[in-house]
Each structure stands twice: as structure tokens, then as C-alpha cells.
Structure 1
Amino acid sequence: MNVFKKLTILLFPLSLMACATAPPKNPENICEIFFEHRSWYEAAKDMNERWGTPIHVPMAMMYQESSFVHDAAPPMEYFWFIPIGRMSDAYGYAQARDAAWGDYQDEAGSFWSDRDEFDDAIDFMGWFTDKTHKINGISKWAAYSQYLNYHEGWTGYKNKSYNKKPWLIKVAQRVDARSKRYASQLKGCQENLDSSWLWRMFFS
């Protein structure tokens, strides 16, 4: 193996780390999120156009699930000091589990969809909220009930499993409140975001 190949192998993981998108500096304000990460707004608009889910709903859910960290994962479990695995196989921006992500890839995504890519993750959430609407009749605008479906699954929601989890109901209420704040904020900056996007598309 020559020196160039050795350097490529050593530096490739570092290049991937450098390409990772940092979480937004102010995740409490959806306008600042999208002005900081312009491509996220385009991906969110694509999700809305494809699935009919308002942008503020999956964004509030994503904040709760990962705080917009691209490679977020549940905590590691330990036997004494020995790591034995994570609490679940949830991963990425949307904290999508393996089975649900596989269903999404089969039905709406592609083999190349990645849970640590924002555009794929938010499209997954649009797909999930659309399925929730079809299966359990939940409005795509209802962040509280959408989040309970997201956390408990469609069957769990039907069986009202969340009633045994007071902590989860409180979390869903926080998601709902954040969704409403995001919606109000987005009204004040969406025209600016749209004009900026069009300007970049034609003149950048």
C-alpha cells in the first residue's frame, strides 16, 4: 500500500466528521434555525409539499427527539463498567428505529436514505405523520397526538398506552407548545425565507 492510499484511509473519517452539520445555535427559534441552515428550509418545504404536514410539527418533534444532532442515539447501557449496548436502535435526527426506517425506505424513501441526513430524516417524519393520519385519523397539524403516535407506535396509541406514562404526556405537551411557537415564528419570517431561497436559486 503506497503512502497516498494510507493517508486517504486515515483522513477519510476526519473528512466525514468535518462535513457533519452542527446543531443550530438557537434551536428555540425556527427562523434562526432556517437562516443558519438554509438547506434545511428547502428540505422542510419539500416534506410539506410531499406529505402535507406543516413544517412546524416535525421540527418540534425533531427538537424533542435529537436536539437536531445528526448522529443522536440513546444512552449506552452498562453491566458494571462494561458497555452492553444501547437502550434501543433509534438513531439520527428523527431517532427513527431500524424497523420503521426500513418500512419508510420500502414505501417512500430509497436504499440510500440516511437517518443522519436532515432531508431524509424530515421526509421520514412527514411519511410517519401521513401514515398516522391514515391509520389513526390524527390531523397532521396536531403535534400532541402526532408525537404520542410517534413515540408509542400506531397500535400503542390505539391502545392508549400513553395513559400509563404521565411523563410522556408532559413531553407531548411540550412538543405541542413548541410546535405552536414555531408556527408563530415561521409566519413572521417565511416570506423572507422564500424570497431568499428564490434569490439564491436564480442568482447564486
Structure 2
Amino acid sequence: MSDHAKRLLPLLAVLALSGCASIPRNTANTCAIFAERSGFVTNWRRDAERASAEFGVPVSVLMATIQAESNFEARARPPRRWILGFIPGPRISTAYGYAQVLDGTWEDYQRKTGRYSDRRYDFADAIRFIGWYHANSARILGISKSDAYRLYLAYHSGHAGYGRGVWRDRPEALRGAKRAQTMASRYAAQLQRCR
């Protein structure tokens, strides 16, 4: 390897990683997202299609879940509670990453799948987790793998919570489910045009 190439490697690594950390410019268009995130280091279309093939959940539903949860922010976290209005307190939950997965749920996923090196801020890992979770929702709760609305409610409330109907009293869950349903339909139509 030439000296010039050796000097360029750190710059290329920084550029590749910085592109992964930012939110895509147009999160309402899955074709634009995939075009923006298709490089030699990262390829979100490939990652989404692999998760879809492995778990049988449509790419549009997987992508809509991420859009509803984090709007494609790699290190998204819920807001903090504030003490006396100015002292930062604890966050309202341990949700983190693209998929906004709680610590305990992520640990359960890693234990059940053996994927201990997966990270919630890695798109490929997060979308695989969503596919896995939605496939379990289909198996346990009988929800269709293409039903973005009900899959989101089960995702937000947990399997036991969904079964008890806790989402009925959670406006944020109902709003998120409607958003996931709308985005899944939009993404599915867009994917037909950009294949």
C-alpha cells in the first residue's frame, strides 16, 4: 500500500462513520434513504432486505417501525425528567438506538439469539432486532407480519401488554401505530418505484 493510500485510510474511515451517525435527509422516502445509505461500508437496503428475508416481515414495515420509533436517529434516547426545572434527572426509560429498545428487551434478544456483539445504534443490528420482534409478535399474538399498525402496538406495549390491551389507554402508542401504518403504506408504494 502506498504512503498516500495509508494517509487516506483514516479520513475515509471518519467519512464512512460520520455518514452512519447522521439522520437521513428525507426520512419520509425509503428510496431516498436507501440511496443515501448505500456505500461500501454501509448498505441499508441490503440490511433491510436480509432482515425481511430472515423473518418474513416486509421491508416497508421494518423501516416504518424505525421511522416511528427514532426517525432514523442512531443514538436516540427518550427525554430526561428534570428536577426543580433545571437539574437533569433520569430518562423516562432505557429505550435507545434506532429501534428504541429497552435494556432488558435487548439483553433478552441477545441471550435468545446469541448475538452478543449486536448494538442498538447499528442499523443492521437494529433492523434485524425489529424483524425478530415482529416475527415473535406474529407467532405469539397471531398478528399478520404485514400489519404495521398492530405490530407497532405489540412492539410499543410488549407482548403481554398487547394481550392485556394496555395500548388502549396510551395515546402515544396509538399515535405511533397510526404513524407506522401510514409510513409502511408510503414506503411500500415507494419501494415499487425504486426497485
TM-score (ref. length: structure 2): 0.85
* Residue 113 (structure 2) pairs with residue 108 (structure 1): yes
Over the matched positions of the two proteins, sequence identity in percent amounts to 38
| Paired position in structure 2 for 1:145 | 150
- Aligned length, in residue pairs: 177
Deviations 1:120-157 (A, max 9, x none): 00000000001101110101100000000000011111
Aligned pairs for 1:110-129 within 5 A: 110-129=115-134
| Paired position in structure 2 for 1:33 | 33
* Residue 99 (structure 2) pairs with residue 85 (structure 1): no
| Change beyond 3 A, Cα 1:123–1:109 | farther
Mapped partners of 1:160, 1:46: distance in 2: 32
Is the 2:55–2:135 Cα contact (8 Å) retained in structure 1? yes
| Change beyond 3 A, Cα 1:109–1:50 | farther
- Where do 4+ consecutive residues of structure 1 move more than 2 Å? 14-21, 165-168
1:162 to 137, 149, 167: 167
Mapped partners of 1:147, 1:26: distance in 2: 22
| Residues 52-61 or 105-114, more deviating | 105-114
State the AA in 2 paired with 1:139: S
Shift of 1:161: 1.0
Is the 1:108–1:127 Cα contact (8 Å) retained in structure 2? no
| Change beyond 3 A, Cα 1:160–1:121 | same
| Change beyond 3 A, Cα 1:68–1:49 | same
Root mean square deviation of aligned Cα = 1.8
Shift of 1:167: 4.4
For structure 1, the residue ranges without an aligned partner over 5 or more in a row are: 1-13, 191-204
| Change beyond 3 A, Cα 1:141–1:98 | same
For structure 2, the residue ranges without an aligned partner over 5 or more in a row are: 1-13
| Paired position in structure 2 for 1:24 | 24
Is the 1:47–1:123 Cα contact (8 Å) retained in structure 2? yes
| Paired position in structure 2 for 1:174 | 179
| Paired position in structure 1 for 2:50 | 46
Shift of 1:62: 0.5
| Paired position in structure 2 for 1:76 | 80
